Amino acid sequence: MRAGQLVVATPALSDPSFARSVVLLLQAGAEDGALGLVVNRPTGTGVDEVLPDWAALAASPGVVFTGGPVQPDAAVCLGRARPGGPPSGAFSPLEGLASLGTVDLDASPDDLSGTLEELRLFAGYAGWSAGQLEAEVEEGAWFVLDALPVDAFSPAPEQLWGDVLRRQGPPIAFAASYPPDPTLN
């Protein structure tokens, strides 16, 4: 696993924090463990309600996302760079997906408007201790898949889990049709 990849919950993962989640890895394979953002859990809180200066750069649907269960009061900002946009010290590209990166919210949005195409704001993040995520992958809780730059900025985040699985082809694509509650079949 590496930064810039997705870990996508398999149907076997029933933990409510991660069931049917799509997590973009910001850090992986480090001795410190792995860190990522759940990119398919929008909240009802608008970016304009919590960081109004950044709202103009917010990707549709323009809301804060639940990034994961760790430090839910912490804000993490993910940005997508403009093609050929000027570099900015407030934008730190992901190692595996350079058009995406974290954004320093202490910077001025005006200083980044030429660098960023759009951004997403996350409350909290997903974190695993050293070896924990690898063990969960071995147990069948997660698929490790390549990310597309648009995944983290999907305008239909509620559909992202199924969309990512379907584009993989069989046999992984079959998981997209797994019912949320198989006992109701």
The structure's pTM equals 0.92
Domains of the chain: which residue ranges? 5-184
> Which amino acid is it at 126?
A
3-class DSSP assignment, residue 70: strand
pLDDT in tens, 81-127: 988 776 677 888 888 787 899 999 999 998 888 888 999 999 999 99
Distance (Å, whole) CA 94 – CA 76: 14
- Topology of the domain comprising 5-184: VC0467-like (3.40.1740)
Q: What is the pLDDT of residues 51-88, one digit of tens each?
A: 999 999 999 999 999 999 999 999 999 999 988 776 67
In 3-state terms the chain splits into helix, strand, coil percentages (rounded to 5) of: 25, 35, 40
**Contact of 101 with 8, CB cutoff 8 Å:** no
